[in-house]
Amino acid sequence: MIKEYIDKLRSYQDLIQLIKYGMIGVLGLIVDFGVYSIFTFEFGINKEVANVISSSCGLINNFFWNSFANFKVRDHLWRRFIEYYLVGQITTVMTTISIFIFVTLLKQDSLVVKMISTIVATLIQFFVNKIVTFKK
């Protein structure tokens, strides 16, 4: 199944979708990192809590852009949103654990850790969302 999907990814349309997904992801990162920075640096909110809130803001933003501009699906929006949000929250748990381990326990830079863990999460999200959430 994975080999079949990788073969499909090589097609032009899938490549364009991946590029668009990445561009939308950058927009989501701006929302996510902006909210995260404001919450942690301006309001002093706990980094793990700020990560969950900021990731949710980025996920909501990205869902609508991906639905209408990238995958062009407009049917079953509530179901698709719930699937997209759940996939996103699963990877948010991953980024939150990374922040806890590398920032809270090991005292690494929070923005660097958040950036690296978010990139890994985005790649996972693309493949799961393409196969499940935005399946036509």
Count of structural domains, the chain: 1
Considering the domain boundaries, does residue 78 fall inside one? yes
Report residue 106: phi and psi, to 5°.
Answer: -100, 0
- Ranges under pLDDT 70 in the chain: 1-2, 5-10
Considering the domain boundaries, does residue 54 fall inside one? yes
Domain extent, residue 110, equals 9-133
- Distance, in Å, from the CA atom of 24 to the CA atom of 41, rounded to the nearest integer, reads 25
Tokens found for residue 133: 């959430």
Considering the domain boundaries, does residue 4 fall inside one? no
Considering the domain boundaries, does residue 84 fall inside one? yes
Block residue for tokens 């049917």: 75
**Whether this model's pTM surpasses 0.85:** no
Q: Which residues contact 96 (CB under 8 A, 6 or more apart)?
A: 48, 51, 52
The pLDDT value recorded for residue 51 is: 87
The pLDDT value recorded for residue 8 is: 65
The pLDDT value recorded for residue 65 is: 95
**CB distance 102 to 113 below 8 Å:** yes
The pLDDT value recorded for residue 12 is: 73
**CB distance 45 to 78 below 8 Å:** no
